[in-house]
Amino acid sequence: MKVDILLGLQWGDEGKGKVVDVLTPRYDVVARFQGGPNAGHTLEFEGQKYVLRSIPSGIFQGDKVNIIGNGVVLDPALFKAEAEALEASGHNLKERLHISKKAHLILPTHRILDAAYEAAKGDAKVGTTGKGIGPTYTDKISRNGVRVGDILHDFDKKYAAAKARHEQILKGLNYEYDLSELEKAWFEGIEYLKQFKFVDSEHEINGLLSDGKSVLCEGAQGTMLDIDFGSYPFVTSSNTICAGACTGLGIAPNKIGEVYGIFKAYCTRVGAGPFPTELFDKTGDQICTLGHEFGSVTGRKRRCGWIDLVALKYAIMVDGVTKLIMMKSDVLDSFETIKACVAYKVNGEEIDYFPFDIEDVEPVYVELPGWQTDMTKMQSEDEFPEEFNAYLSFLEEQLGVPVKIVSVGPDREQTIERYTEE
């Protein structure tokens, strides 16, 4: 068996959680391979709305194994709050959620370091979520991290050493903080974590594959936030691309099957960083309002713009995407004209590839007629208006990959699978 991978192709917030939930019935296992509680996956079904931060989005399908992989960073306090909220709504996590021993722990001092580093940058701040993600991955790479498996092995000593090292850094930054409440909640989270099954996830996943089980790997954030290939330095601290599933779960590249790439019918970004197609007019505000574009974790308003096909083609290339999934098509239902960026102008020269620096690029647009039809009640592609089909055909021609699934609303039922020719 091979694993299938599902990931975002833009700057995050593409709707990965909903699609994982929709696809989960086809799989035996859902495994999260990177990121931390800075990523919020929103799911809506049966009149309820759920926001997942660290727990894989397959958790709502009762008979599935869900794995938090080694590439994830985990905050015990936030995990406890998230898990308890799900359990209160009737979902039994302890029987079906496994946590990699090699996943790194976000310590209370990581969160304080995150705030201190952002404050020190002044106007050059990246716009992190303040969840301690960056400092945790920094400790991981510098070989100073504390892992989930350490909870079972000389934990107090390892935690004290990491805390002392962080406090020395904070002293040098002259940053004032109060650790008491954060630390209290964190240790309560540690005790809660002990109720779950800690696993060597690389052995578990490869064993499941050998047994013929099907696995869906779930990414967080988006390709354009990848630490290596995103719009650096305004990126996250992990590899959000397809290759991150190999390192974040211990899967060999030859075990990869389908790669599902998710994108919105338009584009959004949260926090600082370049955004070539960003709109600063009424159209941008309208997309934001219609799309309810506010962060599920931070509540921050998302920056909105037209779809960027230059960046999208780049993401498809580095991820090896085999099937596309378009989200939030319905948000554009009322627009008379839809724009799509097909090239950039750099110093007066037109280019059709994603360059090293996109800070000062100018988008080159083509215009397409809008469909001006309410698509939220549609249940099959046979109902799609002619203009929408033309938009899909245009995207497939530009991107070279079929759009297999179209979302026409937030509920899991508002998902239409297309039977396009390969």
Alpha carbon 330 to chain centroid distance? 21
* 42 annotated to bind ligand: yes
264 as an active site residue: the answer is: no
372 labeled part of a ligand binding site: no
17 is in an annotated binding site: yes
| 250 and 37 Cβ atoms separated by less than 8 Å | no
339 in a known ligand binding site: no
Q: Is 131 annotated as a binding residue?
A: no
All residues at 6 or more sequence positions from 19 whose CB lies less than 8 Å from its CB, including other chains: 6, 260, 262, 325, 327, 405, 407, 415
- d(C-alpha 229, C-alpha 213), whole Å: 32
Separation of alpha carbons 360 and 56, rounded Å: 37
129 is in an annotated binding site: yes
Catalytic residue among 4, 41, 166, 323: 41
Annotated ligand binding at 142? The verdict is: no
For the question of residue 285 being annotated catalytic, the response is no
Q: Which two tokens stand for residue 188?
A: 């309560």
140 is catalytic: yes
Of these residues, 140, 255, 264, 404, which one is catalytic?
Answer: 140
Active-site position among 4, 13, 114, 150: 13
345 closest CA partner among 359, 364, 371, 373: 364
CA distances from 121 to 126, 232, 266, 357 (A): 8, 15, 31, 21
Buried b (16+ CB within 10 A) or exposed e, 4-27: bbbbbbbbbbbbbbbbbbbbbeeb
Which tokens go with 326? 């378009």
Q: Is 322 labelled a binding residue?
A: no
Q: Is 41 annotated as a binding residue?
A: yes
49 labeled binding residue: no
Peptide bond into 233 cis (omega under 30): yes
30 is an annotated ligand-binding site residue: no
Instruction: Tell whether residue 15 is among the known ligand binding residues.
Output: yes
Kindly give the pairing relationship between strand 48-52 and strand 41-45.
antiparallel
236 labeled part of a ligand binding site = yes
DSSP category for residue 106: P
Question: Does 14 carry a binding-site annotation?
Answer: yes
**Residue 4 marked ligand-binding:** no
Known binding residue 38? Answer is yes
- HSE-CB at 236 with a 13 A cutoff on CA atoms is 30
Q: How many other CB atoms sit within 10 Å of the CB of residue 399?
A: 19
Tell me if 104 is assigned to a ligand binding site.
no
Q: Which residues are annotated as a binding site for Mg(2+)?
A: 13, 40
Q: Which residues are annotated as a binding site for substrate?
A: 296-302
The set of catalytic residues is 13, 41, 140
Q: Which residues are annotated as a binding site for GTP?
A: 12-18, 40-42, 302, 328-330, 407-409
Q: Which residues are annotated as a binding site?
A: 12-18, 38-42, 129, 143, 221, 236, 296-302, 328-330, 407-409
Q: Which residues are annotated as a binding site for IMP?
A: 13-16, 38-41, 129, 143, 221, 236, 300
